[in-house]
Chains A and B, each alone.
Chain A
Amino acid sequence: MRKDSNFFVLVGTIGLFVCINIFLMASGKLPFSFDGFGVILGAGLTLAIYSFLYKDNPAFKIAENLYVGVSLGYTIIITWFNFLKPDLYDSLIVPMFSKAATKAPQYALIFPSMLGVFMFLRFSRKLSWLSRWTFAFVVGLGAGVSIPRVISAFILEQIKPSLHPVFSGGETLFSSVNTLLIMLGVISVLIYFIFSVEHKGAIGKISKIGIWFLMISFGASFGYTVMGRLSLLIGRIQFLLRDWLGVLQ
C-alpha cells in the first residue's frame, strides 16, 4: 500500500472513531461526563495498540509512548505517597526541620537513606565509588537472607514429593502412576543435562526420554501462554463491546 493511501486509512479510521463516539454520546449510550470520556479514551487507546497487528502506524506509536510515560508517572506518585512520604519524609525530614512536628525524628532512617542516595552517585565520576557501598550492602544482605530460604523452599521441600513412596498403603493406582511418572521425568531430565558423559547406549536412551518430558513441558507452557494472551484479547473486546458500544449486557 502506498504512503498516501496509508495516511487516508489512518485519517478515515480516526474519523469513523469520532463519528461513532458522537453517535454514542448523542444517543445517550455513553454519558457526557468524565466517565464517558474515560471510556472513549480507553477504547481509543485499545484500538490504537491493536492497530499494530495491521501495520506499524503513528496512532500505535502515540499509545505506546503514552503508556510508558503514564506508567512511570503513576509509579513515581504511588511510591512517593505510599512509601517515601510516610516512611521517610514524615518520619525523618519533617520532625528534623519543622518546629510544629509532634514526633521525634527517627534518626535510624539516615543510614538506609544515605545508602539510597549513594546509588545516584553513579552518575558522578568522582563519587561513583560510594555507590559500591550500597551494592555491597544489597548483595551481602540479599545473599544472606536468600540462600537459606531458597535452599529450604525450592530444593529441600521440592525433593520431598520426588521421594514420595509409590505404594504406601493409602495410595490410589492413579497417584502411584503419577509418582512413577514424576520419578521417571526427574531422572531422565537430570540425565539429559549431564554433558560430561557421551549420550550413547542406556544414557542416550534415557536422555531421549528426558527430551520428551522437556518437550511436553514446553508444549504445556506454550499452550498456557496462548490461553493467557487470548484472555487479554477477550478482556479488551469485552470492554469495547460492553463499556464502549453497549452491545453486551
Chain B
Amino acid sequence: MERFLRIDRRIIFASITVAVIVSLILQFELPIPASEPVQEIYEEIESLPKGSRVMIAFDYDPASKEELQPMAVAFLHHCFSRDLKVIGMTHYPGAPGLAEQAMTSVANQYQKKYGEDYVFLGYKPGSASLIINMGENLYSAFPKDFYGNDTTTLPALQDVDSLREINFLFDLAAGTTIETWIAFGKEKYKFDMGAGCTAVMGPDMYPFLQSKQLTGLLGGLKGAAEYEALIRKKANAVSGMRPQSVVHVIIIIFVIFGNIVYFTTRRTRHA
C-alpha cells in the first residue's frame, strides 16, 4: 500500500493530460446553467438602450489569455449585437494586442466601424491616477487612441467627457484592477460596474457582489462558458467545460484515494 504514497507525480500529470485531450476530442454535451452573478451582467447589458456607452478594461496579459479572452469575446458579441458603443482601454502593457484582436474580430462580424461604433484607447500606466484622470477628463487622459487618432474627433466618444458618461464598465482583470476601479472609479464617479476575473481571484471578489459594488461577476473559464451559453455563442469556453469537469472528477478521485491510502498506511504503522 505504501508504494501508492510514493507514486511518481508524472503519472498524475500524464493522466490529467490524457483526460483533457480525450474529453476535448470526444463530443458530449454538459449542461451549463448560468449562475446569478453571470446572469446579472447579462441582464444589465440587455437593459441598456441602443447606443449606450460600455467601457471594457482589458486588464490582463497573455498569461491569463486562456481564461479572460473568451470572456472578452463573448462580452463583445453581446455588446455589438445590442448595438452598444464600445470603448476599450487597458492598464496592462501586455494587453493591447489581445484587446485589439478581440475587438476587431468581433466588430467585423457585426459590420461595426472603428471610431463610430467602437474605440480602443490603448494602454496607459498610472492605475489609480489614470482612473481619476479619466473620471475628470477622458480626453486629457487619452488625447490619442491606440492608432494615434485624436480622441476629440472620434464619433463614438461624442458626449463622453469623463467616466460619468459611461453607462456600464466591465473590467477583465488578472490582477488588482477591480479593486482599483471600485475605489477610484465606481465609488467616485458613480457608474455601474461588472467584472470578469481569473478563477484564482474569484473568491476574493464575492464580497463586492454582496455589497453591490459589482453588478455581476464572471469567474474564470466557467464564468466565460456560462456567458457564452447565455448569448448562444458557444466557443472555446463552452468546449473547455468538458475537460474541466472530467479532470475535476479525476482530481477528486485522486484526493479521496490519496487519503484512503494515507490513513490505511498510518493505521498499519500504528498496529
Contacts and interface: CB of A to CB of B under 8 A. Distances in A.
Interface of A: 53-54, 71, 74-75, 78-79, 82-83, 86-87, 141, 145-146, 149-150, 152-154, 157-158, 160-161, 182, 217, 220-221, 224-228, 230-238, 241, 247-248
Contacts of A158: 207, 211
A153 B125 contact: no
Interface of B: 10, 13, 16-17, 20-21, 24-25, 61, 65-67, 93-94, 96, 122-125, 128-129, 132, 143-144, 146, 148, 179, 182-184, 187-188, 198-200, 202-204, 207, 210-213, 219-222, 236, 239-240, 243-244, 247-248, 251
Contacts of A232: 66-67
Contacts of B236: 235, 238
Contacts of B182: 153
B200 A225 contact: yes
Is chain A's interface secondary structure helix, strand, loop, or mixed overall?
Answer: helix
A43 B132 CA distance: 41
Q: Which 7 A-B pairs have the closest CB atoms?
A: A235-B66, A228-B199, A231-B221, A153-B183, A75-B93, A78-B93, A227-B199
A145 B207 contact: no
Contacts of B213: 153, 157
A135 B104 CA distance: 40
B187 A226 contact: no
A150 B183 contact: yes
Contact of B199 (A182, A225, A233, A241): A225
Given A150-B183, A230-B244, A234-B66, A86 B199 contact: no
A79 B213 CA distance: 31
Given A82-B124, A83-B124, A226-B251, A149 B184 contact: yes
Contact of A227 (B94, B124, B220): B220
A227 B248 contact: yes
Contacts of B199: 224-225, 227-228, 231
Contacts of A248: 24-25, 239
Nearest to A235: B66
Contacts of B25: 241, 247-248
Contact of A153 (B123, B187, B202, B210): B187
Contacts of A161: 207, 210-212
A234 B203 contact: no
A104 B187 CA distance: 37
A182 B210 contact: yes
Contacts of B94: 71, 74-75, 78
Given A83-B125, A154-B179, 8 more contacts: A71-B61, A75-B94, A79-B93, A217-B203, A227-B220, A234-B244, A238-B236, A241-B21
A129 to B, nearest CB: 25
Contacts of A234: 20, 24, 66, 221, 240, 243-244
B16 A233 contact: yes
Contacts of A237: 17, 20-21, 24, 243
Given A149-B184, A149-B188, A235 B240 contact: yes
B187 A145 contact: no
Given A78-B93, A234-B243, A238-B240, A228 B183 contact: no
A139 B204 CA distance: 26
A241 B236 CA distance: 12
A10 B61 CA distance: 30
B189 to A, nearest CB: 12
A165 B129 CA distance: 37
Given A149-B183, A158-B207, A234-B244, A227 B24 contact: no
26 contacts: A53-B13, A71-B94, A74-B94, A78-B94, A82-B93, A83-B123, A86-B143, A153-B187, A182-B210, A221-B200, A224-B202, A224-B203, A224-B219, A227-B199, A228-B199, A228-B220, A230-B16, A230-B248, A231-B221, A233-B20, A234-B240, A234-B243, A235-B65, A235-B67, A237-B17, A241-B21
A86 B140 CA distance: 12
Nearest to B63: A232
